[in-house]
Structure 1
């Protein structure tokens, strides 16, 4: 299919893509044993672009080939999800449902993730498009699980032990050298059988909290 004319792209917003893929379903009823397949295009030999026209038409071109044409003013059958630098768009036709996904690339002063986020914010005005924050969540989880380095204070140790601080103790604090695991099990069971043990645990917890307060 031929691309649009040069005059049609005036005032349009264009974003280069790194990859495009569309799903071909072998069966709308998902017959057992039937597998769906994806057809891929990339920007290795020809430019791959997503363009939002001034008349609210969304186009995806691979060189001079038109891969997708979506009318944003009639987007009631569209929905999508965005994650990182990738976006999946699903839209229903009269007889079947189509799916395609795109992966953005760095463009001008925007990273691939920023380009995807910018397009997602624009398209979300036309149809439901969920923007996943998985990368931010993973960054938070990674930060929270980092091992403490340098000089570890008593306050940091007490916070980790009482689950009130982020991070984990260095390997030296996690190495058991005093006894074997089998003996630990016997020792813990023996301690639990001691009527004074709960009071001892409570006393230890209070002491840890006092150390945290002193180190603030």
Structure 2
């Protein structure tokens, strides 16, 4: 069963990946920095759409797969009490976004112990990824999946498909099934280049892309109401949201407008 854990423990799992089990911790609470819920994953797959350089008439779409293991790091799905959703492997964030209002752009389908997620961006770009939950037995994997679905259902509807066909579709039918009934596609095991829509970046790289220069503030503005122990995990949480860098850019643009006005 997924466990409640302090945010620092959840972020430690996202940052260190030391175990395939959910991070242990206390009962948790309701504040942003209090708790997160984590689930172990067996594998995570990202759909790679055809590119402009692909041969016309050939179906070259495929899946990039990440396996949970000691060598590469354990895959962990985390939902923070603030509504942030993350998938991490070791110190790398594979997925990160806010579930608030996600019903407007996110579709989730469950089949057995797997979830298929289809996200539509503001630029009309479509991303798909799939996860299979981990566990010591099939029953435990299903239990983890059910627990996660219950949590996700607080933010977005989750469609459940029948299990008549044990052989999952592949190739072009993957996209068609996803757009119709979003049947879970088969995920091949060969390593493929990362999609530009889901590029792997560490928290350090994200921080470097956001923090371009140091601002000199007046003394009166240099005091923060956040303690150092609270501020660090909060910043990590923001950086792990894949929409945060764009948000920072928008804020910077508005600040420049205000400064010029």
Tell me the TM-score normalized by structure 2.
0.45
Which residue number in structure 2 is paired with residue 87 of structure 1?
115
Larger Rg: 1
Which residue number in structure 2 is paired with residue 189 of structure 1?
none
Query: Which consecutive residues of structure 2, in runs of 5 or more, have no partner in the other structure?
Result: 1-6, 12-33, 167-261
Classify the secondary structure of the residue corresponding to 2:76.
Answer: strand
Count of aligned pairs between the two proteins? 132
Which residue number in structure 1 is paired with residue 66 of structure 2?
41
The partner residue of 1:6 within 5, 8, 12 is 8
Which residue number in structure 1 is paired with residue 98 of structure 2?
71
Verify the 8 A CA contact 1:15 1:107 in the aligned structure 2: no
User: Structure 1 residues 107 and 6 mapped into 2: Cα distance closer, same or farther (>3 Å)?
Assistant: farther
How far did 1:40 drift? 0.7
Which residue number in structure 1 is paired with residue 43 of structure 2?
19
User: Structure 1 residues 74 and 8 mapped into 2: Cα distance closer, same or farther (>3 Å)?
Assistant: farther
How far did 1:121 drift? 2.0
Over aligned residue pairs, what C-alpha RMSD do you find? 2.8
**CA separation in 1, counterparts of 2:135 and 2:9?**
26
Classify the secondary structure of the residue corresponding to 1:32.
Answer: coil
**CA separation in 2, counterparts of 1:119 and 1:107?**
17
**CA separation in 1, counterparts of 2:10 and 2:75?**
18
Considering Cα pairs closer than 8 Å and 6+ residues apart, tell me whether 1 or 2 has the greater RCO: 2
2:125 pairs with 1:100: no
Which residue number in structure 2 is paired with residue 128 of structure 1?
157
The partner residue of 1:60 within 64, 83, 87 is 87
Which residue number in structure 1 is paired with residue 189 of structure 2?
none
**CA separation in 2, counterparts of 1:36 and 1:107?**
32
Query: Which consecutive residues of structure 1, in runs of 5 or more, have no partner in the other structure?
Result: 139-216
2:145 pairs with 1:116: yes
Deviations 1:58-83 (A, max 9, x none): 00001100000121003010001111
Runs of 4+ aligned structure 1 residues displaced above 4 Å come to 7-10
How far did 1:8 drift? 6.9
Classify the secondary structure of the residue corresponding to 1:33.
Answer: coil
Deviations 1:26-71 (A, max 9, x none): 149x953141121111112211000001110000001100000121
Verify the 8 A CA contact 1:19 1:42 in the aligned structure 2: yes
